[in-house]
């Protein structure tokens, strides 16, 4: 019965942590701050800021490269923050078992 209680508690904590990921944000930039991207813990892009000096027709290719770089960087950072939050929420509930893959839970 104790194990079932722990599993139920883990499920509740995981659900709560998943809901809170929308409030975790990360911001990254590329091109020395010319492009800034902000994403949440669900790895959803929330905001994209582009310096107006990049809005010239001759800078179109560079702009695309900087946007891709900033978005990729922020998605990685948001994912790292989300993993950390989930680990904090489930600390002590999941035993450290070698080979146990919790990737499906975002851990």
User: Tens digit of pLDDT per residue, the chain (107 long)?
Assistant: 577 777 788 788 888 888 888 888 999 999 999 999 999 888 889 999 999 888 888 888 888 899 999 999 999 999 898 888 878 877 776 665 565 555 555 44
For residue 10, tell me if it sits in a domain. no
Here the CATH number for the domain that contains residue 75 is 3.30.1310.10
Q: How many CB atoms lie within 10 A of CB 38?
A: 19
DSSP 49-74: EE-GGG-SGGGHHHHHHHHHHHHHHH
Classify residue 54 as left (phi > 0), alpha (psi -120 to 50) or beta.
alpha
Q: Can you give the pTM of this predicted structure? A: 0.63
For residue 33, tell me if it sits in a domain. yes
CA distance 12 to 86: 12
CA distance 16 to 32: 37
For residue 8, tell me if it sits in a domain. no
């Amino acid at each position: 019965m104790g194990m079932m209680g722990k599993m139920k508690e883990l499920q509740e904590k995981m659900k709560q942590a998943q809901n809170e990921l929308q409030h975790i944000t990360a911001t990254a930039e590329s091109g020395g701050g010319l492009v800034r991207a902000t994403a949440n813990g669900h790895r959803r892009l929330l905001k994209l800021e582009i310096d107006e000096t990049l809005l010239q027709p001759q800078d179109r290719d560079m702009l695309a490269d900087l946007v891709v770089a900033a978005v990729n960087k922020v998605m990685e950072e948001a994912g790292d923050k989300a993993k950390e939050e989930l680990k904090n929420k489930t600390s002590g509930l999941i035993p450290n078992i070698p080979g146990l893959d919790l990737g499906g839970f975002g851990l």
